């Protein structure tokens, strides 16, 4: 009769089987780390107050930065969007839209804001 784990190959197969079972048993326990994702333009209240109707595109860009969305189909509109995701969930979002006519700011619109969850 052949002894259990008689050769090195049998020992390695046994250890590989045990390791596989141990790793498989932990798969439901551990969740992957999800990083915090910040996208877009952060517009502070101070930055928003600096922008006035009648400013040129260059002045608006100097005050708020380059817009997140400069749509070629709406050339007279700039969208400043900021999103914050934590653990795969959207927890914050702000939007500011600037409308221009003849290279001059004619309207600012604050879009819907999603605040942080408590």
Enter the pTM of the model.
0.65
Residue 56 contacts residue 100 (beta carbons within 8 Å): no
d(CA 104, CA 100): 5
pLDDT in tens, 60-95: 999 999 998 777 888 899 999 999 888 888 888 889
- Owner of token pair 């509109």: 77
User: E strands of the chain, at which residues?
Assistant: 37-40, 69-70, 77-86, 89-101, 104-110
Instruction: Give the burial class of 69: count Cβ atoms within 10 A of its Cβ; 0-12 exposed, 13-18 middle, 19 or more buried.
Output: middle
CATH number of 37-110: 3.30.1450.10
Domain ranges of the chain: 1-30, 37-110
pLDDT in tens, 6-58: 788 888 889 999 998 888 777 666 677 788 888 888 888 899 999 999 999 99
d(CA 18, CA 39): 44
């Amino acid at each position: 009769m052949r002894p259990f784990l008689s050769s090195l190959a049998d020992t390695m197969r046994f250890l590989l089987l045990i390791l596989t079972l141990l790793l498989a048993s932990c798969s439901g326990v551990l969740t992957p780390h999800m990083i915090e994702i910040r996208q877009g333009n952060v517009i502070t209240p101070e930055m928003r107050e600096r922008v006035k109707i009648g400013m040129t595109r260059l002045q608006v860009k100097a005050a708020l930065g380059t817009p997140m969305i400069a749509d070629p189909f709406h050339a007279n509109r700039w969208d400043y969007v900021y999103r914050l995701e934590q653990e795969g969930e959207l927890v914050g979002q702000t939007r500011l839209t600037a409308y221009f006519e003849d290279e001059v700011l004619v309207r600012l619109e604050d879009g819907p804001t999603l605040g942080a969850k408590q």
